[in-house]
């Protein structure tokens, strides 16, 4: 059931301030926005207006229009998401010139795999502003972001960086949020700050479960913090696979298997199993020819045995919201009856 986050004017003011700071918006900037008006990502566009910059919106993302607008309007700040950035890495060289005026591109809404990130940087040399936040925090109103200087001098790909201004971050035990965890310990991400919503409209039980009395918000995301206090997201709590007591994080497995040369896109998800509870399986979009056996062999070489997908399903495309955020739920429903075949 959808949850309505109760967001105040103060929440929005904080978010707009942080977006202006992170993107260093200037009056002569042009921002191209691909987020729907009803999506919390529209905050980036409002922030551009706050800075006196020009904002251009698209009714929906279409790559050719996107490229033409970048070129004709001399876009300097570009909105994107992992699937958009993936698409940009597959363009012919002459089309890449359309992004010649772009200073930075935003990514968020899902994991940006290391392979795609590094390929984009090699082709365009445009910094990716990889941000983490939620509707309940108006994206980076209270959240984290990795800035260009964070990964220009270190191998920080996949990180969503440090907390933005006014934000606090910690990792807590999934079963007992009163227990804070240390560096590299995986647990639930908790945020606190002035952009956190006041709760869920008409949902008292859910509000008490997620919005704690001391101001901390339990995000439902799993991650860890490294020794430099940078945040890494492992997965959504609800997407975690538990097989015979072993915890498997889909994004972690995907990060390894996307490196297999014949894989274009991959999604790891679970199917129920009467003996082990859940099993990890994979849905794959291939580049050219299918090679499930080769992928399984690759998995066995580079993954712990319990993380190896038990089945490989071939798809023409992965289900996404508006072509963006991956819908693992649909994959689970689609293939739930195939486990015993």
Using pLDDT thresholds of 50, 70 and 90, give the confidence band for residue 341: very low
Region 53-79 average pLDDT: 96
pLDDT at 83 over 90: no
Mind giving me the DSSP string for 282-319? EEEEESSS--HHHHHHHHHHHS-GGGS-S-EEE-SS--
Q: How far apart are CA 135 and CA 41, in angstroms?
A: 9
The pLDDT mean for the chain works out to 91
- 112 touches 85 (CB < 8 A): yes
The predicted model gives 11-37 an average pLDDT of 94
Fold of 1-237: Rossmann fold (3.40.50)
Q: 339: helix, coil or strand?
A: coil
- What's the longest Cα–Cα distance across the chain? 61
Min mean pLDDT across 68-72, 196-200, 233-237, 307-311 is at 233-237
pLDDT tens-digit readout, 254-268? 999 999 999 999 999
Bigger pLDDT: 49 or 321?
49
| pLDDT classification of 234: cutoffs 50, 70, 90 | confident
Q: Could you give the C-alpha distances from 15 to 80, 132, 174, 302, in angstroms and in order?
A: 18, 12, 27, 40
Residues of each domain in the chain carrying CATH 3.30.300.30: 240-334
DSSP SS3 for 12: helix
Q: Is the dihedral of CA 10, 12, 16, 18 positive or negative?
A: positive
Task: Round to whole Å and give the CA distance between 267 and 30.
Answer: 34
Class of domain 240-334: alpha beta
Average pLDDT over residues 280-304: 96
What's the DSSP call for residue 180?
A: B
Element housing 260 (H / E): none
Predicted pLDDT of residue 151: 66
Q: Which two tokens stand for residue 131?
A: 């941000």
Band the pLDDT of 39: cuts 50, 70, 90.
confident
What is the average per-residue pLDDT within 212-234?
93
Identify any residues that bridge with 117 across adjacent strands, giving them in sequence order: none
C-alpha–C-alpha distance, residues 294 and 15, integer Å: 46
CB 231 within 8 A of CB 145: no
Q: Where in the chain is the domain with CATH 3.40.50.12780?
A: 1-237
Yes or no: say if 51 and 78 are a contact pair by the CB < 8 Å rule.
no
Q: Examine the pLDDT at 286 and tell me if it is beyond 90.
A: yes
pLDDT tens profile 132-173: 999 999 998 888 998 877 766 556 677 899 999 999 999 999
């Amino acid at each position: 059931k959808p949850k309505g986050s109760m967001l105040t004017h103060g929440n929005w003011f904080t978010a707009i301030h942080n977006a202006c700071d992170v993107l260093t918006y200037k009056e002569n900037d042009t921002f191209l926005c691909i987020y729907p008006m009803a999506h919390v990502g529209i905050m980036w566009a409002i922030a551009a207006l706050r800075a006196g910059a020009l904002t251009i919106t698209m009714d929906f993302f279409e790559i050719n229009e996107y490229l033409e607008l970048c070129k004709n309007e001399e876009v300097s700040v570009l909105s994107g998401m992992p699937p958009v950035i993936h698409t940009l890495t597959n363009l012919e060289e002459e089309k890449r010139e359309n992004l010649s005026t772009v200073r930075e591109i935003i990514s968020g809404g899902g994991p940006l795999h290391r392979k795609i990130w590094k390929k984009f940087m090699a082709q365009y040399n445009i910094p990716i502003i990889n941000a983490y936040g939620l509707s309940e925090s108006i994206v980076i109103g209270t959240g984290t972001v990795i800035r260009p200087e964070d990964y220009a001098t270190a191998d920080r790909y996949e990180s969503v960086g440090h907390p933005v201004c006014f934000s606090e971050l910690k990792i807590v035990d999934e079963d007992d949020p009163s227990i804070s965890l240390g560096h590299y310990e995986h647990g639930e991400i908790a945020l606190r700050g002035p952009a956190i919503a006041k709760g869920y409209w008409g949902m008292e039980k859910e509000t008490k479960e997620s919005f704690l009395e001391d101001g901390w918000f339990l995000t439902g995301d799993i991650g860890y913090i490294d020794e430099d206090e940078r945040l890494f997201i492992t997965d959504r709590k609800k997407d975690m696979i538990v097989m015979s007591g072993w915890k498997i994080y889909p994004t972690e497995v995907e990060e390894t298997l996307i490196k297999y040369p014949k894989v274009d896109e991959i999604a790891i998800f679970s199917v129920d199993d009467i003996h082990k509870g859940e099993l990890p399986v994979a849905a794959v979009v291939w580049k050219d020819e299918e090679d499930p056996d080769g992928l399984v062999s690759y998995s066995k070489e580079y993954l712990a045995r319990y993380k190896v997908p038990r089945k490989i399903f071939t798809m023409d495309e992965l289900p996404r919201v508006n072509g963006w955020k991956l819908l693992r739920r649909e994959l689970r429903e689609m293939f739930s009856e195939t486990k015993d075949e």
